Amino acid sequence: MIIVVIGGGAAGFFAAISAAEQNPQAKVHILEAGNRVLRKVKISGGGRCNLTHHCFDPKVLSTHYPRGERELRGAFHRWQPQDTIEWFEREGVKTKTEPDGRMFPVTDRSQTVIDCLQNRARKLGIEVKLGCRLESIKRVSHDWLLSLSGDQTIIADKICLALGSLKESNILAQLRELGHTIDPLLPSLFAFNLEDHPMKDLSGLSVQMAQVQTLPFGKPQSGPLLITHRGFSGPAILKASAWDAKELAKLNYKFEVAINWITSLSTAALQDMFSKFRTECPTQRVMQNPFAEIPKRLWHRFVSLSQIEEKITWAHLSREKRLNLQKHLTDFRLPVNGKTTNKDEFVTCGGVCLKEVDFRTMESKKQTGLFFAGECLNVDGITGGFNFQAAWTTGRIAGEAMGKSFEKTTSA
């Protein structure tokens, strides 16, 4: 009896390992089109692999997924970050948590994760075939006939598609023939390019906590914000790009962004603070940055954009200019024109429609014996280790279910 996992990424490896751990009798294969497995793990997290997030409540965890929140909530009750960490620890990979909740191997090397997965697969007798591309899938009675590159074929009892992004996949038509709907494939986690970039020369500056809102529909998203040569990036922007991925695509990435650079103060508190400056430090120049969270050069830019001259003191700041400054700090609006797919992190929104997959097993509701795991599903998370966690969770559930269903078959 044969289980074949197609795709040698995080989800595919975890599905194959889980199937073999669940059922040591099963012959498990991983077929990988490329000449190396786990390529994205290698480059992930800047080479450190942000493999999961320090969040152990399935309900809270699921809120980090613009697509798949409802389905993953149940799935996380079966396999969540705690399970991931424990599994990797058992296999000798210790993890650590950064202040923002991202979790990495203590070695700070993604190769540690790769070695671990490959060693475990080897120990379990999983056969990994490289340069082996799935070309077509056919149902033959209860089995699956897979045609592979180089005119090879393989017959399997259970198959798991862990193909990653389907954006350039050669088997979209096949999936549709098998009765599956593919939700539109769009980029998520991208930086915003600016129409006119008034801060180009400030590229590299960042604030630790900003609030970003795409207009007119987006919900405010908070986090670090980075000024880049082309526009804005950083977690707050990537979050907004993920949550609004579909709407921004409809607008052809031409929209307005509003930024609040000072989230620690409400607008009213900021007004009070400005009044206090007027009475308590009247001779201090406005140009002198009063906020530790705003880099000096950025503050100077807000002051000059508000048409406030260098020599103006708080006592001499007109109401109009004070309001101007306030607006620049809390509701800074700029036209966005286009996106930059961030080299560091990027996922595809869209994929196999979730209604057609049973998340208790990851089996297709259209075809028995066909399972899905990872990014090929219409599941994607914000940055922070959530995407790999979705790959581990769906891979684990698919693998266990394939192993178990095989047990049922043999005992029947």
Ligand X SMILES: Cc1cc2nc3c(=O)[nH]c(=O)nc-3n(C[C@H](O)[C@H](O)[C@H](O)COP(=O)(O)OP(=O)(O)OC[C@H]3O[C@@H](n4cnc5c(N)ncnc54)[C@H](O)[C@@H]3O)c2cc1C
Nearer to ligand X, 19 or 262 (CB): 19
Q: Is the dihedral of CA 37, 391, 349, 347 positive or negative?
A: negative
- Minimum distance between the CB of residue 356 and ligand X, rounded to whole angstroms? 17
Q: Which of 4, 26, 134, 334 binds ligand X (CB under 6 A)?
A: 134
Cα(325)–Cα(328) distance, rounded to whole angstroms? 5
Least separation in angstroms between CB 400 and ligand X: 17
Q: Does 6 bind ligand X (CB under 6 A)?
A: yes
Q: Which is nearer to ligand X, 375 or 400 (CB)?
A: 375
Place of tokens 């997290």: 45
Separation in Å, CA 99 to CA 54, 85, 102, 113, 206:
10, 17, 7, 21, 17
Do residues 345 and 173 make contact, with C-beta atoms less than 8 angstroms apart? no
Angstrom distance (rounded) from CA 121 to CA 18: 10
Tell whether residue 348 is a contact of ligand X (CB under 6 A). Answer: no
| 34 belongs to the binding site for ligand X (CB under 6 A) | yes
Kindly state whether residue 274 participates in binding ligand X, applying the rule CB under 6 A.
no
Positions 152 through 171 that interact with ligand X (CB under 6 A) = 162-164, 169-171
Q: Judged by CB under 6 A, does residue 359 bind ligand X?
A: no
By CB under 6 A, tell whether 8 contacts ligand X: yes
Our finding on whether 20 is near ligand X (CB under 6 A) is: no
Q: Is 357 in the site for ligand X (CB under 6 A)?
A: no
354 binds ligand X (CB under 6 A): no
126 touches ligand X (CB under 6 A): no
Among 3, 10, 26, 137, binds ligand X (CB under 6 A): 10
Q: Which stretch binds ligand X (CB under 6 A): 41-49, 82-90, 213-221, 310-318?
A: 41-49
Burial of 280 (0-12, 13-18, 19+ CB in 10 A): exposed
Query: To the nearest whole angstrom, how small is the minimum distance from the Cβ of residue 398 to ligand X?
Result: 11
In the set 346, 359, 371, 392, which binds ligand X (CB under 6 A)?
346
345 binds ligand X (CB under 6 A): yes
Q: Are 106 and 10 in contact (CB under 8 A)?
A: no
CA pair distance 281, 275, nearest whole angstrom: 10
Task: Count the residues of the shown chain that bind ligand X, applying the rule CB under 6 A.
Answer: 37
The interface with ligand X within residues 45-74 (CB under 6 A) comprises 45, 49-50
Kindly state the smallest distance separating residue 137's Cβ from ligand X, in Å. 10
CA 164 – CA 343 distance, rounded (Å) = 17
CA gap 268, 88 in Å, rounded: 48
Distance from chain centroid for Cα 89: 23
Query: Which residues are CB-contacts of 267 (< 8 A; sequence separation ≥ 6)?
Result: 326, 330
What's the per-residue H, E or C state across 63-95? Answer: CCCCECHHHHHHHHHHCCHHHHHHHHHHCCCCE
Q: Identify which range of 251-259, 267-275, 289-297, 344-352 contacts ligand X by CB under 6 A.
A: 344-352
The tokens of 243 are what? 């949550």
Under the criterion CB under 6 A, does residue 387 sit at the interface with ligand X?
A: yes
Amino acid at site 60: V
Residue 132, beta-bridge partner list: none
- 11 in contact with ligand X (CB under 6 A): yes
Angle of CA points 367, 125, 406, to nearest 5°: 30
Q: Does 133 bind ligand X (CB under 6 A)?
A: yes
3-state secondary structure of 291: coil
Would you say 231 and 193 are in contact if contact means Cβ atoms under 8 Å apart?
yes
If one asks whether residue 191 binds ligand X (CB under 6 A), the answer comes out as no
Smallest gap from residue 382 Cβ to ligand X (A): 10
| Residue 138 token pair | 């056919």
Q: Is there binding between residue 399 and ligand X (CB under 6 A)?
A: no
**93 counts as binding ligand X under rule CB under 6 A:** no
- Please say which residue, 168 or 196, places its beta carbon nearer to ligand X: 168
Residues that bind ligand X (CB under 6 A): 6-12, 31-34, 39-40, 43-45, 49-50, 133-134, 162-164, 169-171, 344-347, 374-375, 385-388, 391
